[in-house]
């Protein structure tokens, strides 16, 4: 039973355009959401996060939107650059039961930005 779902395994975007990566979650106890970026043969690196008390967080070219009623978040990258090509993981954490403090990850979306 996947609690964090990234339904698009891959996404291809032209350089300079917007990349939109989507993530859905099922557990209403999640209150902190993060996006990680992973290059081949490297560990995931933190990109941006958002608390459930907000609906938007922006950091340079990266913006994360949270829609709590729909249990949906998205990562927008504008403008997309070839160096953004990587696998992007959505992760969620919540204060519930014995899993407090654990990040639950989605399966990832592979973004390819074409020059």
Partner 1 sequence: EAGVVQSPRYKIIEKKQPVAFWCNPISGHNTLYWYLQNLGQGPELLIRYENEEAVDDSQLPKDRFSAERLKGVDSTLKIQPAELGDSAVYLCASSSRPGGKLFFGSGTQLSVL
Which stretches of the chain bind partner 1, using CB under 8 A? 4, 6, 9, 32, 34, 36, 41-46, 49, 89, 91, 93-95, 98-108
CA dist 9 and 15 (Å) reads 19
Strand partners, 40: none
Which H/E stretch holds residue 73? strand 72-77
Least Å from the CB of residue 94 to partner 1: 8
Place of tokens 């919540």: 94
Least Å from the CB of residue 76 to partner 1: 20
CA dist 77 and 107 (Å) reads 19
The nearer residue to partner 1, 73 or 89, going by C-beta atoms, is 89
Least Å from the CB of residue 41 to partner 1: 7
């Amino acid at each position: 039973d996947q609690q964090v779902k990234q339904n698009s395994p891959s996404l291809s975007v032209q350089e300079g355009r917007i990349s939109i990566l989507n993530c859905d979650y099922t557990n209403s106890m999640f209150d902190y959401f993060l996006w990680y970026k992973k290059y081949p043969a490297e560990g995931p690196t933190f990109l941006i996060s958002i608390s459930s008390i907000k609906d938007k967080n922006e950091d340079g070219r990266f913006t994360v939107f949270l829609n709590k009623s729909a249990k949906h978040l998205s990562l927008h990258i504008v403008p997309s650059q070839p160096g953004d090509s990587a696998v992007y993981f959505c992760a969620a954490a919540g204060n519930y039961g014995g899993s407090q403090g654990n990040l639950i990850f989605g399966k990832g979306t592979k973004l390819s930005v074409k020059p």
